[in-house]
């Protein structure tokens, strides 16, 4: 086999390609082994873990890229001694390297490409292969944290994305949840910070009675309900480079609806003493009568003097948006 250490953000990767494997646990004989063509990667960090890189032919990757440009790890063949790509008419089987051992491997950071040359597969080979591992290694920048980690589905929340290796340029911040995604522009602040404003995703994540097939900058294929918050993944893309392999979570919640909110406490009793401060609590709920668990919006609470025909009734409370504990005189 051949191995190569690749400096990636936020964690270094160690790639292994090919080699001979066997199910025999100790001292296998040569005839008991078989050659492999797998690419495996060890992610180094506080917790190390192995992953198998899924490799596909150039023709297959081109078809998959039209559907999803983020998930393919593309293997392309170059004719010996040239930099030209293989013929598009090549079959998938012929467009993938033979199982081998003893190959030589190099890495080009500019386009996140592994280069494999030669090796032994019954004879010494002289072919040259490239494998794009950008979806595994990621670009030369990474995101580590987002603040605040939640906001309303109607968007408009300023967020700060912190990470490493950021550069000035055309910055795209992507919010995705399953098959849904929306891109918003980002502003370069420093090599460790990007700022952006959350998009309005209410139509995509908050409506359960309608099915949307297309919205500007938003791909929709499923119906959802807004009874609970929706967690999205945030990734960053700068210029023509790929989206970050690291991600952060952002939770969208449905805005509160005043008519569904519940107020309780001694401040709502009809026999309160005039001029004495009292208190009550408001439980924020959304339009589907679901309890709010996050947020920092303010309620506007007003007390009205009731007509004399109903002096014993409780004051009328009007609320707007989300709230915390309020006091009433």
Q: What is the CATH number of the domain that holds 232?
A: 2.60.40.10
Q: What is the mean pLDDT of residues 60-69?
A: 62
Among 253, 273, 304, identify where a domain stops.
253
Residues 6+ away with beta carbon under 8 Å from 239: 167, 169, 170
Domain co-membership, 88 together with 99:
yes
Among candidate residues 72, 66, 51, the one with its CA nearest the CA of residue 131: 72
Average pLDDT over residues 225-253: 83
Assess whether 243 and 149 both reside in one domain: yes
- Examine the pLDDT at 322 and tell me if it is beyond 60: no
Are 249 and 259 in the same domain?
no
Give the domain-ending residue among 253, 285, 317: 253
When computed from its CA atoms, the radius of gyration of the chain, rounded to whole angstroms, is 29
Spell out where 179-321 has E strands. 180-190, 193-197, 230-238, 248-253, 262-264, 278-283
* Residue 151 pLDDT exceeds 70: yes
Examine the domain organization and report whether 128 and 163 are in the same domain. Answer: no
**pLDDT tens, residue by residue, 2-22:** 888 888 877 888 998 888 887
What is the total count of domains within the chain? 3
From CA 56, how far away is CA 51, in angstroms rounded?
A: 16
Do 278 and 247 sit in the same domain of this protein?
no
- Which pLDDT score is estimated for 24? 65
pLDDT of residue 106: 92
pLDDT at 68: 54
Q: Examine the fold and report which residue of 253, 280, 299 is the final residue of a domain before the chain moves on.
A: 253
Residue 130 and residue 10 share a domain: yes
Residues 105 and 26 in one domain: yes
92 and 57 within one domain: yes
- Regarding whether 15 and 107 lie in a shared domain, the answer is yes
Q: In 154-165, which positions are buried (b, 16+ CB within 10 angstroms) versus exposed (e)?
A: ebebebebbbee
pLDDT tens track for 301-315:
887 777 765 545 444
Q: What pTM does this model have?
A: 0.59
The answer to whether residues 103 and 224 belong to one domain is: no
Looking at the structure, tell me whether residues 103 and 17 fall in a common domain.
yes
Q: What is the rounded average pLDDT of the residues 233-252?
A: 90
Model confidence band, residue 316 (pLDDT cutoffs 50, 70, 90): very low
Summary mean pLDDT of the chain: 75
Q: How confident is the model at residue 236 (pLDDT cuts 50, 70, 90)?
A: very high
Lowest-confidence segment of 43-57, 114-128, 186-200 by average pLDDT: 43-57
Instruction: Compute the distance between CA of residue 267 and CA of residue 278 in angstroms, rounded to an integer.
Output: 5
Contact 306, 313 (CB under 8 A): yes
Most confident region among 54-58, 188-192, 258-262, 270-274 by mean pLDDT: 188-192
Between 68-77, 162-171, 274-283, the lowest mean confidence (pLDDT) is in 68-77
Task: Clarify whether residues 27 and 98 are in a common domain.
Answer: yes
Pairing of strands 124-132, 113-120: antiparallel
148 upstream amide cis, omega within 30 of 0: yes
The residue range of the domain holding 14 is 2-137
Residue 145: predicted pLDDT: 94
């Amino acid at each position: 086999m051949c191995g190569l250490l690749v400096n990636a953000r936020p964690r270094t990767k160690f790639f292994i390609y090919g080699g001979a494997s066997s199910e025999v646990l100790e001292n296998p004989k040569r005839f008991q082994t078989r050659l492999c063509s797998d690419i495996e990667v060890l992610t180094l960090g506080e917790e190390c873990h192995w992953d198998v890189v899924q490799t596909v032919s150039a023709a297959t990757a081109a078809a998959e890229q039209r559907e999803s440009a983020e998930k393919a790890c593309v293997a392309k063949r170059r004719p010996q001694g040239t930099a030209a790509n293989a013929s598009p008419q090549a079959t998938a089987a012929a467009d993938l390297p033979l199982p081998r051992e003893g190959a030589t491997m190099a890495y080009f950071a500019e386009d996140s490409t592994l280069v494999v040359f030669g090796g032994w597969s019954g004879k010494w080979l002289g072919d040259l292969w490239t494998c794009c591992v950008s979806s595994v290694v990621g670009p030369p920048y990474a995101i580590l944290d987002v603040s605040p980690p939640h906001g309303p589905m109607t968007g408009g929340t300023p967020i700060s994305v912190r990470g490493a290796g950021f550069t000035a340029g055309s910055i795209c911040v992507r919010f995705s949840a399953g098959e849904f995604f929306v891109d918003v522009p980002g502003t370069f602040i420093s090599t460790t910070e990007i700022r952006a404003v959350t998009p309005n995703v209410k139509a995509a994540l908050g409506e359960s009675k309608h099915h949307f097939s297309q919205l500007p900058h938003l791909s929709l294929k499923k119906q959802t309900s807004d009874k609970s918050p929706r967690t999205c993944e945030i990734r960053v893309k700068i210029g023509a480079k790929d989206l970050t392999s690291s991600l952060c979570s952002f939770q969208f919640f449905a805005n509160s609806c005043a008519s569904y909110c519940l107020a309780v406490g001694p401040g709502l009793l009809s026999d309160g003493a005039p001029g004495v401060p009292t208190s009550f609590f408001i439980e924020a709920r959304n339009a589907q009568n679901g309890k709010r668990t996050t947020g920092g919006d303010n309620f506007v609470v007003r007390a009205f003097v009731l007509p004399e025909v109903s002096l014993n009734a409780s004051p009328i409370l009007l609320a707007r948006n989300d709230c915390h504990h309020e006091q009433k005189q």
